[in-house]
A = this chain, B = another copy of it.
Amino acid sequence: MRRVNLDSMASSRNSRLYAGMAAEERQAERRLRLIQAAIEVYGEVGYRNATVKAVCEAAELTERYFYESFANSEALLIAAYMHVCDTLHADMAAAADACAGDPEARMTAALTLYFTRLREHPRPARVFLLEISGISPAVDAVKLTVSRTFSEILVPPPDIAPHADRGQNLLSTGMVGAVISIALRWVSKGYPQPVEEIVAATAAFCRVALSGHSHRGKV
C-alpha cells in the first residue's frame, strides 16, 4: 500500500535512485545524451542518412531509450534543432542587447557572435543550416518560429508594433534568407573568409530590413 518515504526530499517521489539520480533525472540525462549524439551524427552523415541505431550508438544507449524520449526520428530532429538554436539565440540576444540604442552596432554584434559560433562548431552548423529544410510540415513550422526569433534579434521591431506589418515581414524573411545563404556557403566551403568579411556582407542585407522600419509612410 504505497509506503512512500515522507522523510526524504520531495524530488525522489516514488522512484528508486540509480547512480544517485531519480528516475526523472536519469531520463532527462538520456534525452540530452540523445540530442547531443544526434547533433554529432547528423553533422557527420546528414539527417536523412542517420539511422536511429546510429544515434543510439553514439549516445551509448539502446533503441529502447530512443523511444522512451522521442516518438520518432523527426521528434529528435526538432528537439536537437531547438536545442542548438535556443542556446545560440540566447547568446546572440545577450550580445545584441549590450548594444541597445544603436541598431547598427546591435546587428554587427549579433552577427559576429553568430558567425563565430558557426566556425567554432561546424557540425551543428552544417546540420541546422543545410539539412533542416523540407523534412516535414512540423519541422518547417519550427523553422519558421526560429527564423522569426533570429530576425527579431538582429532587427528588433519598433516598440509600438503596428498592427499589420505586412511589408516588414517580407523584408525580415529576405534578410534571414540572405544571412542563412551566406552562412551556408561559408560553412560548406570551409570558412574561406574571415568573420569580419562575412559580417560586413550580411550586414548589408540586414540594413535593408532595418531601413524598412522607417519607410512606413508609403503603405
Contacts and interface: CB of A to CB of B under 8 A. Distances in A.
Contact of A205 (B130, B133, B208): B208
Contact of A134 (B130, B179, B197, B208): B130
Contact of A171 (B47, B130, B201): B201
A174 B202 contact: yes
A175 B185 CA distance: 13
Interface in A157-208: 166-167, 169-171, 173-182, 184-186, 193, 197-198, 201-202, 204-205, 207-208
17 contacts: A47-B134, A48-B134, A130-B133, A132-B134, A133-B133, A133-B134, A167-B197, A167-B201, A170-B185, A170-B197, A173-B181, A174-B181, A175-B205, A176-B181, A177-B179, A177-B184, A180-B181
